[in-house]
């Protein structure tokens, strides 16, 4: 049986959809009289306006490990992709426990998109268990990686993680995010070459939006004295953000949200906030705010707001997409550090 869509068939459901589309195209062709149905059966240039419309093409089934990647895939894939997100918005991918439904989604996917650099510690096992043998694209492939030990700037209390590992939170830099988008676009084109042009165009538009976002952020932060650009967050998720805009982030927890911060670490951080006159501490959308609030209370720093670190939010309209999330983070940090471009809060 010839497939008329030119895509690999995956799973019974998908096969049914493909066959359905074939049948509909055959009907359309028959009525329009487009001759022997060859591989070009999809183009019906002479079809009259009254011709029955073909069933919609089956979408490319893509699995993304967490909400930020899923949004990037949606931007590049447009209406060509059907995305399953494993770790939903407002959830923490560091401590995620995969479900049987996740394995099922992977088994019937045409492409799996992961961050890489150890962020999804559970993904290799999950893919193996699912039996999936298709392509896995590492979105962070080719980025300029920051070592986990490097971005905490010295040996402060934010060192619960093991040294020598790479910091996986590269999406926190709009510059690195452009690599993500390029990697995702390349993978979508490889999986669905018939729509290469559309993927290319959408990726280019998205990269341009990221470039503009970065440009605006650079202008904003360069107006703030460098020694003023120091903040506290719950966990070490902002190394790439800090690297891009010269902001130093300190965190009571290490790279992961797993585990407790030590009492000694918290005490050191309070001393550091006072000594370095750190202006603001931020809570994160994925973790318990109490530790950071305690830091603020005991050090006299103020809570500068919520930063979105490892997940988008559906509860909070400020971070429904990656672009919204980054705009919010940039604006929130810059405002708390005293950028004069920000309008005063009412
Ligand atoms: Zn994280």
According to the model, what pLDDT value does residue 243 have? 96
Q: Domain 225-336's class?
A: alpha beta
What spacing in Å lies between the alpha carbon of 169 and ligand 1's midpoint? 6
According to the model, what pLDDT value does residue 265 have? 83
Give the ranges where 135-248 is alpha helix by DSSP (H). 174-191, 196-222, 239-245
According to the model, what pLDDT value does residue 49 have? 53
HSE-up (13 A, CA, CB side) for residue 64: 25
What spacing in Å lies between the alpha carbon of 191 and ligand 1's midpoint? 29
SS3 content of the chain, % helix, strand, coil (to 5): 45, 10, 40
What spacing in Å lies between the alpha carbon of 20 and ligand 1's midpoint? 43
Beta bridge partners of 85: 64
What spacing in Å lies between the alpha carbon of 133 and ligand 1's midpoint? 28
According to the model, what pLDDT value does residue 261 have? 81
CA distance 6 to 28: 18
What spacing in Å lies between the alpha carbon of 159 and ligand 1's midpoint? 14
What spacing in Å lies between the alpha carbon of 78 and ligand 1's midpoint? 27
What spacing in Å lies between the alpha carbon of 258 and ligand 1's midpoint? 9
Residues of each domain in the chain carrying CATH 3.40.50.1980: 60-205, 225-336
Cα-to-chain-centroid distance, residue 91: 13
From residue 264, how far is each of 157, 159, 256, 276, 311 by CA, in Å? 8, 12, 18, 18, 29
| All residues at 6 or more sequence positions from 92 whose CB lies less than 8 Å from its CB, including other chains | 257, 286, 287, 310, 311
What spacing in Å lies between the alpha carbon of 167 and ligand 1's midpoint? 9
What spacing in Å lies between the alpha carbon of 92 and ligand 1's midpoint? 8
List per-residue pLDDT tens for the chain, 346 residues long.
Answer: 333 333 333 443 443 433 333 333 333 333 333 333 333 334 444 445 555 677 888 999 999 999 999 999 999 999 999 999 999 999 999 889 999 999 999 999 999 999 999 999 999 999 999 999 999 999 999 999 998 854 443 333 443 334 448 999 999 999 999 999 999 999 999 999 999 999 999 999 999 999 999 999 999 999 999 999 999 998 899 999 999 999 999 988 777 887 778 888 888 889 989 988 898 999 999 888 898 898 899 998 889 999 999 999 998 889 999 999 999 999 999 999 985 444 333 3
What spacing in Å lies between the alpha carbon of 280 and ligand 1's midpoint? 20
What spacing in Å lies between the alpha carbon of 127 and ligand 1's midpoint? 21
The token pair that represents 166 in the structure block: 């790479």
Per the CB < 8 A criterion, the answer to whether 236 and 158 are in contact is: yes
What spacing in Å lies between the alpha carbon of 23 and ligand 1's midpoint? 48
What spacing in Å lies between the alpha carbon of 346 and ligand 1's midpoint? 32
The token pair that represents 63 in the structure block: 């699995």
According to the model, what pLDDT value does residue 55 have? 82
Architecture in CATH of 60-205: 3-Layer(aba) Sandwich (3.40)
What spacing in Å lies between the alpha carbon of 97 and ligand 1's midpoint? 15
- 253: closest CA among 337, 333, 139, 160? 160
CA distance 26 to 10: 22
**How does DSSP classify residue 71?**
H
HSE-up (13 A, CA, CB side) for residue 188: 35
What spacing in Å lies between the alpha carbon of 221 and ligand 1's midpoint? 23
Q: Which three-class secondary structure state does DSSP give residue 119?
A: coil
Q: Which three-class secondary structure state does DSSP give residue 31?
A: helix
- The label of the residue with tokens 């407790």 reads 260
H or E segment to which residue 261 belongs? none
Cα-to-chain-centroid distance, residue 226: 28
């Amino acid at each position: 049986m010839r497939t008329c869509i030119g895509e690999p068939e995956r799973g019974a459901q998908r096969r049914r959809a493909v066959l359905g589309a074939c049948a509909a195209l055959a009907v359309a062709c028959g009525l329009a009289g487009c001759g022997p149905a060859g591989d070009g059966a999809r183009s019906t240039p002479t079809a009259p306006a009254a011709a029955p419309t073909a069933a919609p093409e089956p979408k490319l089934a893509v699995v993304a490990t967490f909400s930020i990647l899923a949004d990037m895939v949606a931007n590049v894939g447009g209406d060509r992709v059907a995305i399953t997100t494993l770790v939903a918005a407002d959830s923490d991918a560091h401590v995620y426990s995969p479900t049987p439904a996740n394995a099922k989604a992977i088994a019937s996917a045409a492409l799996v998109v992961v961050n890489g650099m150890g962020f999804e510690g559970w993904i290799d096992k999950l893919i193996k268990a699912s039996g999936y043998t298709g392509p896995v694209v590492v979105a962070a492939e080719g980025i300029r990686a920051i070592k986990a030990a490097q971005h905490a700037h010295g040996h402060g209390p934010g060192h619960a993680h093991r040294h020598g590992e790479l910091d996986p939170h590269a999406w926190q830099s709009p510059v690195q995010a452009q690599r993500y988008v390029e990697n995702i676009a390349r993978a979508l084109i490889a999986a669905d070459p018939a729509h290469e042009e559309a993927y290319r165009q959408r990726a280019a538009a998205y990269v341009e939006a990221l470039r503009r976002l970065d440009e605006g952020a650079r202008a904003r932060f360069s107006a703030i004295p460098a020694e003023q650009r120091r903040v506290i967050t719950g966990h070490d998720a902002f190394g790439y953000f800090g690297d891009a805009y010269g902001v130093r982030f300190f965190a009571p927890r290490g790279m992961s949200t797993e585990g407790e911060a030590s009492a000694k670490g918290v005490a050191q951080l309070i001393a550091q906030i006072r000594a370095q006159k750190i202006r603001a501490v931020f809570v994160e959308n994925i973790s318990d705010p109490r530790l950071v609030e305690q830091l603020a209370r005991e050090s006299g720093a103020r809570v500068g707001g919520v930063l979105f670190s490892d997940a988008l939010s559906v509860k909070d309209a400020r971070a429904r997409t990656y672009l919204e999330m980054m705009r919010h983070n940039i604006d929130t940090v810059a405002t708390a550090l005293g950028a004069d471009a920000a309008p005063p809060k009412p």
